[in-house]
Amino acid sequence: MTNSVTLHISSPAGEHKIFLQQDADTHRTIHSWLDTKPHLITDCSANSDGTALAGNTHILFWNDAVSVAVDPASNTVTMDVSGANAHYSGVLGAGEATALAAFVKACKLPDLAA
């Protein structure tokens, strides 16, 4: 079974749907769809409890750093894309923060500190 998760972020800027799916062959790559726009997040790493994820994405000719932080206790998430000046934060749907942390842990990515 493919490792994936679907999230719905509710923020003052509006609603966003995010789908994440780990690549079956290249485990440090995550396919993502942000409001139906596809992006690859490559060279991913994460912390051991699944609450932080980092990687790179390529937009046109630029390589941008991506970071995602989730707090299962408050069901909140923050996602930043460096060069695009994109910042998404808000409240996830019921149980989605826990599902996101479980997805990241299941990816078995290298440690962020390494």
* pTM exceeds 0.75: yes
Q: What is the pLDDT of residue 36?
A: 85
Q: Which domains does the chain carry?
A: 4-106 (2.40.128)
CA distance 28 to 61: 21
pLDDT reading at 1 higher than 60: no
